[in-house]
Amino acid sequence: MIKKCLFPAAGYGTRFLPATKSMPKEMMPIVNKPLIEFGVDEALEAGMSDICIVTGRGKHSLMDHFDINYELEHQISGTVKEKKLKDIRLIMDKASFTFIRQREMKGLGHAILTGEKLIGDEAFAVVLADDLCVKDGAEQGVLSQMVALYDKYKCSIVAVESVPENETHKYGIVQGTRIDDNLYRVENMVEKPEPGTAPSNMAIIGRYILTPDIFEILKNTQPGKAGEIQITDALLEQAKKGRVLAYKFKGKRFDCGSIPGFIEATNYVYENVYQE
Ligand code: UTP
């Protein structure tokens, strides 16, 4: 059983400046719900109730969001507005939240390594909340689909999707051998390849299941692209030592770390998900 889900949320979110000067990117709302709350919903659906968040300076609102606001709740208690807090109250009943601070922003791999103290020696999921995933007709969320695969294969799994060739330079790209429908054994992985050099168009998106040996590998991973400790480098090492799978998930993903993706997600959620 995978119980823990790690949310690296310490990045600067520079693509959304000035909004992210004092507000975490993960708190930006898609219609009326912060990005991170969508991710927590997906984790809970997949049976993960230990939510571990890696934060950084200026990210207090992430903690406040998953806590009681006595004054506000007292103020709207008994009014029609109270129902607007129903979902977040349910989350708080079902999940526990722990936080750890990444003091220096040394990349996603480093953020995941910072989470080791919260995770310990067990397999866990990682969600990058700025990748918003919706079912869009699929039976289950992406994390639930990945947990089912983990139960069978017991190894690290990354979620991938096909992207147009002129976008491969924005992603970690996987090259693999097909072992089942939508499932590949990872042979190679490159972080943000130069245009025209990508080994495939299978791009890693912000959903991972990782086995805990990844922490030892990360401790020995040298800074790579952009001087940051890259999770793709550590995963490639893990793939060489054992097995890592890449899974083409069912559903739809929005890159809410970019402005066009954020707008697209807002329109989609307003039209298909949001209920007044
Ligand atoms: P991004 O590459 O999207 O970086 O990080 P960013 O800082 O959030 O956004 P931009 O590019 O400046 O606009 C991917 C994920 O990894 C986390 C981010 O919070 C995001 O969820 N991250 C990244 C960390 O937690 N720590 C880091 O040092 C780097």
Residue with structure tokens 């950084």? Answer: 56
Q: Ligand 1 pocket, 257 CB below 6 A?
A: yes
Residue 113 CA to ligand 1 centre (angstroms):
14
Residue 44 CA to ligand 1 centre (angstroms):
23
pLDDT of residue 226: 84
Q: Quote the CA–CA distance of 237 and 221 in Å, as a whole number.
A: 9
Residue with structure tokens 């997949």? Answer: 46
pLDDT of residue 189: 95
Taken in order 66, 72, 77, 82, is the CA torsion positive or negative?
Answer: negative
Cα–Cα distances in angstroms (integers) from residue 225 to residues 87, 108, 220, 241, in the given order: 39, 11, 16, 22
pLDDT of residue 224: 87
C-beta of residue 16 within 8 angstroms of C-beta of residue 154: no
Task: State the closest ligand 1 atom to the C-alpha of 20, by its place in the atom list counted from 1.
Answer: 13
pLDDT of residue 274: 87
Answering whether pTM is above 0.75, one says: yes
Q: Please, what CATH class does the domain formed by 4-160+206-212+240-272 belong to?
A: alpha beta
Instruction: Find how far residue 247's CA is from the centre of its chain.
Output: 15
Residues 6+ apart with CB under 8 A from 201: 162, 163, 164, 165, 168, 173
Q: Quote the CA–CA distance of 272 and 185 in Å, as a whole number.
A: 34
Going from the first residue of the chain to its last (276 residues), give the mean pLDDT of each consecutive group of 10, the final group possibly shorter.
96 94 95 97 98 92 92 89 88 95 95 98 98 96 98 98 94 96 96 92 98 97 90 96 96 96 97 87
pLDDT of residue 80: 87
Residue 128 CA to ligand 1 centre (angstroms):
8
Mutating to test ligand 1, I would choose from 25, 158, 256 the residue with most ligand atoms within 8 A of its C-beta, which is 25
3-state secondary structure of 62: helix
